[in-house]
Amino acid sequence: MGVMSTVSSGQHTRPMCYLLLLMILQLGLHTAEGVWPLPQTLISSTERFHLSPQAFYFGYGRQSAAQQGCSVLDAAFKRYFALIFPDYTSGRWNLFSDKNESKILLQIFSVDHNDCDGYPNESSSERCKMIADYLLQLVYQDDFGSYFVNKTDIKDFPRFQFRGILLDTSRHYLPVQAILKTLDAMAYSKFNVFHWHIVDDPSFPYQSRTFPDLSSKGAFHPMTHIYTQSDVRRVISHARMRGIRVLPEFDSPGHTKSWGKGQPDLLTPCYKGGIPSGTFGPINPALPSTYHFMATLFKEVSVVFPDSYIHLGGDEVDFSCWKSNPYVRAFMQKMGFGSDFTKLEAFYMENIVNITSALNKTSIVWQDVFDYHERIPKDTVLHIWKGTPASYYAELSRMTKAGMRVVLAAPWYINHISYGQDWHNYYTVQPLNFSGTEEQKKLVIGGEVCMWGEYVDATNLTPRLWPRASAAAERLWSDEKQTSNVDMAFPRLQDFRCKLVRRGIQAEPLYVGHCKQEYQGI
């Protein structure tokens, strides 16, 4: 029996490959079970097909702009084949369980042009990834080990184009393996932006080509707790193969204590009783050398990280050290800022944004920068991290009214933990429930799950992140009306979590129960 999945072309993107209507096959009884996040439409029938690992293959359609040799797709086919047929690839496959001669041919059409050698970006279509994704989630095994899939129509596209996860590699160092594992799990939940909060106060693990002292003096250890250029390339490449962008953050002028160890005169010396106290504050905005250094650093960063965005931070700047420093105060006078230090911060951030603009990068900054002033270029993306729904809704209104694009992170600070099923909190967020026009709502380009590192390193990252982050993933991908009920979502998420465990992701349980295959990684 030959089955061909039909694929038609898409409508509103410049895609790497269109896959708007995808006929796949799925278990009728298990409709949508374990499919996470929920597609925009999924219609499954009870008509089921036997899949034979021996006869199954992914193929390129004749009209496809991408053909064999397209690294991203070739690698994805191989990866997904192993995930779809785990017994077969692990050698546990029993030939006797597969006497059926059915054959599935899955064709991928790539219209317009191929992006096989590029990096995922803002306008990447995510449709081609979906075909393998859904097959992965829909194939099931019966009790005899045979693989089946039910006839299923899926029509899908993401609700938001920016679906990110932040990892913080400064408060604790995360070995590269932990980052790669997170990228694997991100792809399973259709996250497409890895926001790498790579440096901060406690440590500077990024090994800069231009300023090697930043890590040799600012990392927890200059050899074992750093990311070399090759480590960074490995992360970016692993992400690219999974349709994930890597958005680096070099947060300043606050959160820079570790920078000061390897770069003299960068931080502001704090004063006490008229003399330097020996402690240091934020980056010194009053020295020309600061901007020279930042321009050089960002020039390197803009080459090392191919994504069109660079995150500039700009959050939580403590003014007390600036206030204490007579040279900074003199600079304030000279610039006509009076005693308004928000103007000094704004001045600093404008200079940094100008540096990245000159490098043809889009800046993304934490909300503080918008709160302090509105002279920020219109193409800057704002990142909301503070407060309760009431306060982030107000911020969303204000920012989008000013015509700015916004990423919402505030409701998804997933490092905060509490007892019980707190995934409900991440699931029931309504990102567009603020007062504003339709045009304003379109400016909300997505959301981000933040895993700050105060209490997290490689020992507990994965179970703390998954499947809790998956709740946010569905909110950012799926139709809100179809996914408004946590009780309906619960068994599907529980099933999805078992699939993560089966794929080697140490995802924690949601509640009492079990998986067919429990985690054995101990």
Q: Which of 316, 374, 439, 518 is catalytic?
A: 316
Which of 207-215, 366-374, 399-407, 459-467 is the region at the interface with a second copy (rule: CB under 8 A)?
A: 459-467
Compute φ and ψ for 163, nearest 5 degrees: -130, 95
Tell me whether residue 50 or residue 171 sits nearer to a second copy (CB atom): 171
The helix/strand/coil state of 212 is coil
- Residue 143 as a binder of a second copy (CB under 8 A): the answer is no
- Residue 150 as a binder of a second copy (CB under 8 A): the answer is no
The helix/strand/coil state of 250 is strand
Tell me whether residue 318 or residue 422 sits nearer to a second copy (CB atom): 422
Tell me whether residue 172 or residue 197 sits nearer to a second copy (CB atom): 172
- Residue 454 as a binder of a second copy (CB under 8 A): the answer is yes
DSSP 423-452: HHHHHS--TT-SS--HHHHHTEEEEEEEE-
Which of 254-262, 267-275, 458-466, 471-479 is the region at the interface with a second copy (rule: CB under 8 A)?
A: 458-466
- Residue 419 as a binder of a second copy (CB under 8 A): the answer is yes
Other C-beta atoms closer than 10 Å to the C-beta of 311 total 25
Which of 99-107, 235-243, 358-366, 412-420 is the region at the interface with a second copy (rule: CB under 8 A)?
A: 412-420
Please pick, from the candidates 52, 152, 415, 470, the single residue that binds a second copy as defined by CB under 8 A: 415
Binding track over 197-236 against a second copy, x by CB under 8 A:
-----xx----------------xx--xx-----------
- Residue 388 as a binder of a second copy (CB under 8 A): the answer is no
Please pick, from the candidates 171, 197, 255, 492, the single residue that binds a second copy as defined by CB under 8 A: 171
Other C-beta atoms closer than 10 Å to the C-beta of 350 total 15
Compute φ and ψ for 318, nearest 5 degrees: -90, 120
Which of 6-14, 100-108, 142-150, 504-512 is the region at the interface with a second copy (rule: CB under 8 A)?
A: 504-512
For residue 439, the Cα-to-chain-centroid distance in whole angstroms is 25
- Residue 380 as a binder of a second copy (CB under 8 A): the answer is no
105, containing H or E segment: strand 103-108
Which of 26-34, 142-150, 365-373, 461-469 is the region at the interface with a second copy (rule: CB under 8 A)?
A: 461-469
Site for a second copy, residues 103 to 142, rule: CB under 8 A: none
Please pick, from the candidates 292, 416, 424, 442, the single residue that binds a second copy as defined by CB under 8 A: 416
Tell me whether residue 53 or residue 175 sits nearer to a second copy (CB atom): 175
Which of 21-29, 257-265, 454-462, 484-492 is the region at the interface with a second copy (rule: CB under 8 A)?
A: 454-462
CB contact set of 460 (below 8 Å; sequence gap of 6+): none
Smallest separation (angstroms) from a second copy to the CB of 41:
33
Strands 103-108 vs 444-451: parallel, antiparallel or unpaired = unpaired
Smallest separation (angstroms) from a second copy to the CB of 72:
24
Smallest separation (angstroms) from a second copy to the CB of 426:
15
Tell me whether residue 124 or residue 182 sits nearer to a second copy (CB atom): 182
442-464 burial, b at 16+ Cβ within 10 Å, e below that, comes to ebbbbbbbbbbbeebeeeebbeb
Q: How far is CA 478 from CA 155, 315, 391, in A?
A: 11, 30, 24
Tokens of residue 217, six digits: 């003096």
Please pick, from the candidates 456, 471, 473, 489, the single residue that binds a second copy as defined by CB under 8 A: 456
Please pick, from the candidates 69, 90, 96, 177, the single residue that binds a second copy as defined by CB under 8 A: 177
Smallest separation (angstroms) from a second copy to the CB of 224:
8
How deeply is 23 buried, as exposed, middle or buried, from its count of CB atoms within 10 A (0-12, 13-18, 19+)? middle
**What is the distance between the alpha carbons of residues 93 and 89, in angstroms, rounded to a whole number?**
8
- Residue 518 as a binder of a second copy (CB under 8 A): the answer is yes
Please pick, from the candidates 86, 175, 222, 387, the single residue that binds a second copy as defined by CB under 8 A: 175
Strands 147-155 vs 162-168: parallel, antiparallel or unpaired = unpaired
Please pick, from the candidates 358, 455, 484, 488, the single residue that binds a second copy as defined by CB under 8 A: 455
Tell me whether residue 387 or residue 509 sits nearer to a second copy (CB atom): 509
- Residue 463 as a binder of a second copy (CB under 8 A): the answer is yes
How deeply is 511 buried, as exposed, middle or buried, from its count of CB atoms within 10 A (0-12, 13-18, 19+)? exposed
Please pick, from the candidates 50, 181, 255, 383, the single residue that binds a second copy as defined by CB under 8 A: 181
Residue 176 gets which letter from DSSP?
A: H
**Is residue 101 annotated as a catalytic residue, yes or no?**
no
Smallest separation (angstroms) from a second copy to the CB of 456:
7
- Amino acid at the residue 414: I
User: Which of 113, 130, 118, 141 shows the shortest CA–CA distance to 52?
Assistant: 141
Smallest separation (angstroms) from a second copy to the CB of 19:
32
Please pick, from the candidates 109, 134, 173, 206, the single residue that binds a second copy as defined by CB under 8 A: 173
Other C-beta atoms closer than 10 Å to the C-beta of 471 total 28
Q: How far is CA 514 from CA 396, 505, 517, in A?
A: 40, 15, 8
User: Which of 467, 520, 463, 464 shows the shortest CA–CA distance to 493?
Assistant: 467
**What is the distance between the alpha carbons of residues 353 and 252, in angstroms, rounded to a whole number?**
11
**What is the distance between the alpha carbons of residues 249 and 247, in angstroms, rounded to a whole number?**
7
CB 140 within 8 A of CB 261: no
Compute φ and ψ for 407, nearest 5 degrees: -115, 130
**Residues in touch with a second copy (CB under 8 A):** 171-173, 175, 177-178, 181, 202-203, 220-221, 224-225, 415-420, 453-460, 462-464, 501, 506-514, 516, 518-522
**Which residues participate in catalysis according to the annotation?**
316
